[in-house]
Chains A and B, each alone.
Chain A
């Protein structure tokens, strides 16, 4: 029986293509912002459309600076609207700083250093509001 032979050029070509796809996907799904934070969308069952006030509230509560909110806010809104959940990571420490997830018209926020909160789009903070 004659063995099947693959042309080396075909294999290299496929590998190059796969590498390109992986790079494109990673560039699309994770972006390193100017603030040094990386926002990663996560798939979730529920999605939600937050307005600017909601975004500012939840990101402030999670401890993000105004600059970071301005930088990441739009992407955060779009990610929650399309995927339903978001993780924000610090590349330096490779730690997840905060996770935002939508469930039943509420945004559940869990932060690495500030605690966990629940924000309802309809009624505001389920947990006590900030002063």
Chain B
């Protein structure tokens, strides 16, 4: 504090003390007082203004003493009360003032406010007022009121729930409450496809709440107490199983009010047209699944509500308007059409000359004066364009366009056309060396009668075939204007000449002499006059030889050279061959002399000499009887019969029997012995051949039946008694065969012509048949059982027919041996005969018959080549019940009667032949087609015609070697070995020149009739994963390995014909991968060919045209230099070349000879070629001479 301030305060204080002490000194007085009293009605009322502010007592009275002249205003005051009057004013009081009363009244305060709802009881307030219709309330409370006010109404809650008042001393306005009804929850879950769905709006009307489903799909909405209304779900693009639920007076919460949603879809569709036509195959990229328009150009796709994308129609070779279509979120079905327009390209080039029609191009345009052509084609156009102009051919002859996608410039080179005039000249056989006069070069037919000449387009002329000794039809052929190949055959007629004459024996003509001319001169036979005539061809040379058995000819053969006229009186003198029959007659070991031996039927007679010998002469082929006679003697045999004597016969010594016994009759003495041809030594030329036996007639008469003659075998004793017990060999099936040669003389209704033929001829038996009783009988519709019984009785044997034997027999047997008789009787019945030493069994061959075990036997037959089961199938079904196959061992077991076993065995031998083998030699050749085309070479696939095919061939000139035009490669085609040799040479040349590649040359040995397979393939494996199943766990996706095979597969089945030709059934597949998809799956192109061709041994079958295209990319650069900036381009080269390759398959078939043939061939001496000496300059001179010709 400043010093000045302290000084001032200290002075003031001193002054005050001095003043106070001065005033306390004066006079003493008494004051007059008065009383002011009254009541205020209440105790404790402060009477303000009165001195001392007296307070009313408990009765509400007050009294106060005031001084005279007091004045003032008295105001009663007590909190919470008002007083009436509120105050009294006192002027200077000069008297007592009583009954100065006041009336007290308590002060009320208003409590008011709003609850927002009418009818709310304001509990706690005095009188519990109720809110009016506006929800307001208003009430009075006394000063100092305390209490708690709570608004109450059912279903409502209020905020605040209550208000508490304490000692209110002022009005309380705006005592408001916020009322709200009681609220409850309606909740649930919305799902779609079992999955919770978020974002669905759920709302309740009538002041109900609303909510949106959360990520768990749950919603909860709040509604008021007693709410009634409807809950509605909504989300754009979806529908719900219940669009809404209704509720009435809800007084509690409700859960599990679930809903299921489904997504809404819309269709996007339309049509794509080009002009007025629909366009199919357009891919609608952008739409789900990239749909493709159908043949009506229509596309359609279903999209989800709200889907958005840009759709771009795409198809190679087309533009579309609009190019694309953008879809904002799609909420309705959409239709959008497009208009397509085809892309076009130009195909043009040069054909060298004007007026060439380019057939195949749209509009078939014609080349202009400069030889240029052009045409507009649509994208992807494919076709074959062939330039045509009369008189010209073009190189290439045509071009194949496949799916044009850019402008094409292609040239064709014209060439004046030439044609082949060719044909064949033949009579019965091809005529060679015929000069075709009039044709260029006057060609000559080759050994096969073919001629050929090449002429230019428009050539005209007259062609005349000329050859000595031939005339031709047509004699001349005129060609006015050749515009195509001219096949022209000529029928030749070769002039023939007659060679005639006669064959005589002395003066007598000789008939049936064969006149044989060599060198295909034919043959003839002399007629009854001994005359003959032979026709030979012009210029025939050869020999003529007369031939007849038993004759010799004075001139055995006549030689002729180049017959060009008729020849007559070409006669021959024949001489008959004389045969001798000689023998010796002995009696008791002594030669008998003087026996007259005479041969009838033109034969001579002779008397035995002292040695008992005789010699007879007979003509060649003589047949007759030789009879010895001498008085007092009888001979055995009494005579001998000879048939067809063709050589000298020397009889063995004959023992003259003793004098005849008494019972022998004169006829018996004349018994003859028949000597058949089989029993005589045969002439050389007839040995081994079949001879007639039908004329043999037995004349011996056995005692058992005077009407039956018995054959007398020369080496056997005569039978004097019938064989009561014929000796039959045990189960010898061969016996039946051997007896077939026995002489028979029978007629039967069942005998067929072949059977008769068989009866007439048979092989010469090596030994005489055993003795058998002869059967003679006639049966007409006789029961078989009876027939067998009769034969058994006649032969004196036992024949047992089994139970099944039945049937009627009609036949006549004349002196037929027993076994033959049984064979005849049983022929055609199907029954079989089994012979045992004691009896004959006739039974059915049916295996089910009881007699089958007795009549059958079993034989195992092992096969060499065929499988047993297959062989059984090849047998006749008739034998099926008798055979069983064992494929494992290649054995067939046969259980059958002996005759059937023989037959089955014979059939099996026929069936079980060694199969032939064929060596199949395949060559798979790939040719770079573009290379050939670049070179101007036309690859001509094997054709029937062969050789060159140029029209302007000039010896030694023309295009020359290495020329590119107009020559083309052609391979002469024939199905024989020559073609194969030529093919091999040509392939070798092409391969060395890099124009062809022999990809593979497999060989396989195939069996006749069995398929052989050649595969040159590559296998790739791909894992295929199926689309995951909806709802399936991802960890279970089974995969599959898929094999894709490509390459070349040949299936060849060869068949060998009877003439050695080979027929090949070919099935060829060539496949390769042309591209790969985005998933690296390959797109495989397959070309298959099936055909059947016939070729000769060593021939080749060709399958061509299996084209494939590949793109080659070639990069070349000089190391280092190619990377120099700027200049590097000079040292780099990159080319992309698309080349189409031709795949050709050649299959050559060679017959593999049988082992026997192979061994025979291997034994043959090989032809050794002698070395050939070289020639020198003299040969060059000869060449020059030839060239100058």
Which A residues contact B (CB, under 8 angstroms)? 37, 46-49, 51-53, 55-56, 60-70, 73-74, 77-78, 81-82, 87-88, 90, 93, 95-99, 101, 103, 106, 108-118, 123-131
Contacts and interface: CB of A to CB of B under 8 A. Distances in A.
A106 B979 CA distance: 12
A118 B982 contact: yes
Contacts of A74: 1175-1177, 1179-1180, 1183
A131 B440 CA distance: 5
B961 A115 contact: no
Interface in B312-348: none
Contact of A113 (B420, B453, B964, B1186): B964
Nearest to B1169: A47
- The residue in B420, B945, B993, B1171 that gathers the most chain A C-beta atoms within 10 A of its C-beta is B993
B444 A113 contact: no
Contact of B1179 (A48, A52, A87): A52
A103 B1032 CA distance: 74
Contacts of A99: 985, 988-989
B1174 A103 contact: no
B993 A96 contact: yes
Given A96-B989, A131-B443, A116 B970 contact: yes
Contacts of B1169: 46-47
B486 to A, nearest CB: 13
B955 interface: yes
B459 to A, nearest CB: 10
A61 B986 CA distance: 15
Contacts of A46: 1169
B760 to A, nearest CB: 51
Contacts of B455: 131
A60 B955 contact: yes
Interface string B947-963: 11100010111111111
B441 A130 contact: yes
A23 B440 CA distance: 49
Given A47-B1169, A112-B993, A113-B968, A97 B1175 contact: no
13 contacts: A37-B961, A63-B967, A65-B956, A74-B1177, A90-B962, A113-B969, A115-B968, A116-B971, A116-B982, A130-B947, A131-B440, A131-B455, A131-B953
B937 interface: yes
Contact of A127 (B946, B955, B962): B946
A125 B451 CA distance: 11
Interface in B1157-1171: 1169, 1171
A92 B1174 CA distance: 29
A103 B962 CA distance: 26
A131 B992 contact: no
A115 B970 contact: yes
Interface residues of B, number: 65
Contacts of A111: 969, 989
B1041 interface: no
Contacts of A126: 446, 978
A129 B959 contact: no
A78 B1175 contact: yes
Contacts of B947: 61, 115, 117, 125, 127-128, 130
B1184 interface: yes
Contact of B1172 (A49, A53, A109): A49
A3 to B, nearest CB: 39
Nearest to B432: A123
A109 B947 CA distance: 10
A33 to B, nearest CB: 12
A95 B953 CA distance: 22
A106 B972 CA distance: 15
A75 to B, nearest CB: 10
B561 interface: no
A95 B993 contact: yes
Nearest to B421: A131
B447 interface: yes
Interface of B: 420, 422, 439-441, 443-444, 446-447, 450-455, 937, 940, 945-949, 953, 955-964, 967-972, 978, 981-983, 985-986, 988-989, 992-993, 1169, 1171-1177, 1179-1180, 1182-1187
A131 to B, nearest CB: 4
Nearest to B947: A127
B969 A52 contact: no
Given A77-B1179, A129-B444, A108 B1187 contact: no
B961 A90 contact: yes
B961 A68 contact: yes
Contacts of B988: 99, 110
Given A51-B1182, A70-B1184, A116 B949 contact: no
Contact of A55 (B982, B1173, B1183): B1183
Given A66-B956, A74-B1180, A115-B940, 5 more contacts: A52-B1179, A56-B1187, A77-B1179, A112-B989, A131-B439
Nearest to A88: B961
A110 B1177 contact: no
A127 to B, nearest CB: 4
Contacts of B978: 106, 118, 126
A70 to B, nearest CB: 6
Contacts of A49: 1172
Contacts of A112: 937, 962, 969, 989, 993
A128 B1183 contact: no
Contacts of A124: 446
Nearest to A94: B993
Contact of A61 (B948, B985, B993, B1174): B948
B446 A123 contact: yes
Contact of B1182 (A52, A61, A63, A68): A52
Nearest to A79: B1174
Given A53-B1186, A108-B981, A116-B971, A128 B452 contact: yes
A56 B961 contact: no
A52 B985 contact: no
Contact of A128 (B422, B967, B983, B1177): B422
B1174 to A, nearest CB: 4
Given A64-B961, A115-B947, A123 B1186 contact: no
Contacts of A37: 961
A14 to B, nearest CB: 33
A117 B955 CA distance: 16
B288 to A, nearest CB: 59
A116 B948 CA distance: 8
B936 to A, nearest CB: 9
Contact of A117 (B960, B972, B1183, B1187): B972
Given A113-B962, A115-B971, A131 B1183 contact: no
Contacts of A73: 1179-1180, 1183
B490 to A, nearest CB: 16
A113 to B, nearest CB: 4
- The residue in B945, B983, B988, B1185 that gathers the most chain A C-beta atoms within 10 A of its C-beta is B988
A42 B444 CA distance: 33
